[in-house]
Structure 1
Amino acid sequence: MILLADALRSPVVSDTAATSATDTAATSATAPGSGDVTGSGSPGPVSSADSSFADSIPSAVRVTVVGIGADGWAGLAPTAREVVRGAAVLFGADRQLALVPERIDGQPVGGRRVSWPSPLLPALPRLLAGHAGTGAQAGQGELCVLASGDPMFFGIGTTLVRLLGAHRVRVLPHPSSLSLACARLGWAVDDVDVVSAVGRPLAQVQAALAPRRRLLVLSSDRATPVEFATLLVGRGYGESLLTVLDRLGGPDEAYQSAPASAWVEAGARAWVRAPAAVEHPGGAASAVPPGSAVSQGSVVPQVPLREPADLNVVAVEPVPTPSAPHRSRTPGLPDDAFEHDGQITRREIRAVTLARLGPVPGELLWDVGSGSGSIAIEWMRTHGTCRAIAIEPRAERADRIRRNATALGVPALRIVPGRAPEALAGLPAPDAVFIGGGLTTPGLLDACWAALGGRGRLVANAVTLESEALLVSWHARLGGDLVRLSVSRAAPIGGFTGWRPARPVTQWTVWPAAHRSVDPSKM
């Protein structure tokens, strides 16, 4: 049996395939996190099964995931062809089913063909269990999923491994859109960041933008290139060369390049219906045979930009204007990078606080009394799989946090409106907790300590005498590090310059693992 995976439109699927002819839009929504960037992994281990899902599937069921490209049957390896030929049932979207011939040399290729539903994930247990018997009767002990491109690159292969366990899934990959795009551009695969915009806000690309850092965006549809170009212009990268690669690996593959500002202008008017063309880095364009390399600096006659295909990926090597803001992923963004009403952990204190919290890929932070969201946002920006929950009682501040998260590339930041400790009930257990506001609220510190469950770390900042006294008391009981941070800035004093001190911050950091047997409520 073959399940042909064309698109996972469910917002609860855990991985995303590229929207090219090779890695079609299999969408994901990881647990709260920022966008996915290659090299960052995925939240949680993928080798262990989701027990509730796996238990709903007969234990004898095995899944083979076969990658297929836009070149269809011709591009499949002999082993993959053998698996497809012997399938009892073919599941997939119409487009992918059409890539597999129904008969070859008079012999049927696979058995019954069924277009699968959308969203897919809720239906997977029924699909796998319902057709397991069919496969067994046909002599096939395995179910097989034909996925776009490399099933383990933002693809359904990763999802199935997470749901069923690695011991029940076999993967036969095909070249991914990343590999094909880099081959066309002459880019080293290990020197490119990748962000998927399939089923996710394009705003997440903000965190990945860096001068001269090559970036590949897996598009959601034909509108993504202009939306991305508009974002680049807004960030001060309008003259960056943006290349759109359509239908990679297919017979009608095409690609074209122009500055981001030119893409914005083209998208604002009626698209030119022109033959497939390539516009080379350097500003000129020409028709190029599919599979040819996009040579750097080629000079050929220019042609107008045409509307991208629905299946496309976008490549850019960002070049900032002199006025473009610098947005490092290292904690300590300027205060004016955030919209705030004065309730913000200032830049220097924020950098120290994030160093104490020590973000680790895949970990979850609670930012209690979040204010502007600066701590949670910078935590998430450190790595594509870092997650955070911002707890904030004031509605206008919660809205401001949401805007800041979107503007700084972490739109997946979860915002919980409400006052701690009540608002903490039912939240997933954190790996780290930061308390930046409301320290003196009865029961708050106790609730945060209990939530850590004897692991992780807790960092609390105090600016008032009352909150400082509370931290001094807890430090006396539990130890940890208690420090006072003071920052002074040069400012005019008459005709001279002097130091203007900001309010000092008392910071307490504690590691519960060192105090597993301690119950603060009994001290």
Structure 2
Amino acid sequence: MGDPWLSIIGMPDDSADALPPASRAALAEAEVIFGGPRHLERASAGTRGRAWPVPFSVEPVLAERGKRVAMLVSGDPFWFGAGGSIVGALDPSEWRSLPAPSTFSLVANALGWRLEEVTCHGLHAAPLAQLRAALRPKGRMICLLRDGDAPAALARFLCEQGAGTAQMHVAERLGGSDARLRAVQADGYDLTDVQAPVAVGVDLPDGIGLPRAPGLPDDSFASDGQITKAPVRALTLSALAPRQGDLLWDIGAGSGSVSVEFCLAGGRAIAFEQHAARVENITRNIADFGLNARMQAAHGRAPEV
């Protein structure tokens, strides 16, 4: 393992006293400690503490290369955590990770849910529409949210998707002495004073979610009528045979419906379209299906663009 200068430490929500010995030793040896204000306070970082910049960046950590540095993150650094944001810029000999139980594990244990049967979502910066493809009858989700206002927004989203009867388990500051767990139905959401860090476990009702087979109904998409109709689209997707991570160039995309379904199957897509109004529809469909990270629209004529 060598002698890495950077220790990425999973931090529980109560205090540094709850850390295992190796994590406490790394904190004690650190010349510089990066973390959120809550973590820095609970680790008694004092003058060694450096708060994360807004917007988030790992550049300040990289600038301290050569010193003993500790990064404090919530739970498991590589489960929707900041660990994955920095190691690509480092040699494996430069860092070590000292994880704690993830927030997903804490929520699942608080609710008695089998974690392997739950879908997990990090939504600190991602749109709630990203959840659309994960909705399924009687399914369960755990969502990490950005702040105390986000659970109310999640409740509104669930209602818009026909899941107003979903049970929401709002988990605040799990792992610490001020942890709180409250349950509320999405269409009756009335919780106030929700404290971050917050995660929500969602028990979904029956009869919701997108079909898993290709060929979504045509009215699922914003369109001016220029759309590959559902039966032809199903055959097209079957022939394209998308695999996880595959990239599709959709030239003359129309509404972008083929690209959307390609991405819902795990791929990525660039939708080329020369008509500005249709590009607007493609952009709307990207947002409605929560595919901003997988799909983009390119306005212009082929092959110039």
TM-score by length of 2: 0.91
Aligned 8 A contact 1:364 1:388 in 2: yes
- 2:41 counterpart of 1:98: yes
CA shift, 1:118, in A, is: 2.5
Q: Distance in 2 between matches of 1:163 and 1:410?
A: 27
Summarize deviations over 1:260-288 as a string: whole Å, max 9, x none.
Answer: 1001xx3xxxxxxxxxxxxxxxxxxxxxx
Summarize deviations over 1:391-422 as a string: whole Å, max 9, x none.
Answer: 11111111111222222332432111111111
- 2:292 counterpart of 1:358: no
Query: Which residue, 235, 244, 261 being the options, matches 2:187?
Result: 261
Q: Which residue matches 1:148?
A: 74
The aligned runs of 1:443-482 (5 Å cut-off) are none
Query: Which residue, 87, 110, 114 being the options, matches 2:50?
Result: 114
RMSD between aligned alpha carbons? Answer: 2.1
Q: Which residue matches 2:19?
A: 76
SS where residue 179 of structure 1 aligns? helix
- 2:294 counterpart of 1:408: no
Aligned 8 A contact 2:34 2:61 in 1: no
Q: Which residue matches 1:456?
A: none
- 2:123 counterpart of 1:193: no
- List alignment gaps of at least 5 residues for structure 1: 1-59, 103-109, 267-304, 424-523
CA shift, 1:310, in A, is: 3.0
SS where residue 144 of structure 1 aligns? strand
Query: Which residue, 49, 52, 65 being the options, matches 1:132?
Result: 65
Q: Distance in 2 between matches of 1:414 and 1:73?
A: 43
What one-letter code is carried by the residue in structure 2 that aligns with 1:210? R
CA shift, 1:213, in A, is: 1.4
Task: Assess, with a 3 A threshold, how the Cα gap between structure 1 residues 195 and 162 changes in structure 2: closer, same or farther.
Answer: same
SS where residue 153 of structure 1 aligns? coil
Aligned 8 A contact 1:240 1:320 in 2: no
CA shift, 1:254, in A, is: 0.7
Task: Assess, with a 3 A threshold, how the Cα gap between structure 1 residues 360 and 168 changes in structure 2: closer, same or farther.
Answer: farther
Aligned 8 A contact 2:34 2:70 in 1: no
- List alignment gaps of at least 5 residues for structure 2: none
Q: Which residue matches 2:132?
A: 206
Q: Distance in 1 between matches of 2:144 and 2:56?
A: 20
Q: Distance in 2 between matches of 1:114 and 1:232?
A: 37
SS where residue 416 of structure 1 aligns? strand
Q: Distance in 2 between matches of 1:334 and 1:420?
A: 28
Summarize deviations over 1:180-219 as a string: whole Å, max 9, x none.
Answer: 0000111011111012221111111111111111111111
Aligned 8 A contact 1:239 1:320 in 2: no
Aligned 8 A contact 1:394 1:417 in 2: yes
Q: Distance in 2 between matches of 1:247 and 1:367?
A: 45
Summarize deviations over 1:274-323 as a string: whole Å, max 9, x none.
Answer: xxxxxxxxxxxxxxxxxxxxxxxxxxxxxxx43422321111121146xx
Summarize deviations over 1:59-103 as a string: whole Å, max 9, x none.
Answer: x9643211101112122000110111011122333222101135x
Q: Distance in 2 between matches of 1:155 and 1:319?
A: 29
Query: Which residue, 148, 152, 156 being the options, matches 1:226?
Result: 152
Task: Assess, with a 3 A threshold, how the Cα gap between structure 1 residues 165 and 329 changes in structure 2: closer, same or farther.
Answer: farther
- 2:201 counterpart of 1:318: no
Q: Distance in 2 between matches of 1:186 and 1:216?
A: 13
Q: Distance in 1 between matches of 2:37 and 2:185?
A: 36
Aligned 8 A contact 1:329 1:378 in 2: no
Query: Which residue, 271, 275, 280 being the options, matches 1:390?
Result: 271
Q: Distance in 2 between matches of 1:179 and 1:420?
A: 48
Q: Which residue matches 1:421?
A: 303
CA shift, 1:345, in A, is: 1.3
What one-letter code is carried by the residue in structure 2 that aligns with 1:310? A
What one-letter code is carried by the residue in structure 1 that aligns with 2:41? A
Indicate the larger mover: 64-73 or 333-342: 333-342
Moved beyond 6 Å, runs of 4+: none
Aligned 8 A contact 1:160 1:169 in 2: no
CA shift, 1:157, in A, is: 1.0
What one-letter code is carried by the residue in structure 2 that aligns with 1:410? L
Q: Which residue matches 1:327?
A: 210
Structure with greater Cα Rg: 1
Task: Assess, with a 3 A threshold, how the Cα gap between structure 1 residues 339 and 116 changes in structure 2: closer, same or farther.
Answer: closer
Q: Distance in 1 between matches of 2:88 and 2:244?
A: 18
Q: Which residue matches 1:468?
A: none
Q: Distance in 1 between matches of 2:52 and 2:149?
A: 26
Indicate the larger mover: 253-262 or 175-184: 253-262
Q: Which residue matches 1:65?
A: 8
CA shift, 1:167, in A, is: 4.3
Give the total of aligned pairs. Answer: 302
Q: Percent identity?
A: 37
Task: Assess, with a 3 A threshold, how the Cα gap between structure 1 residues 174 and 61 changes in structure 2: closer, same or farther.
Answer: closer
CA shift, 1:132, in A, is: 3.1
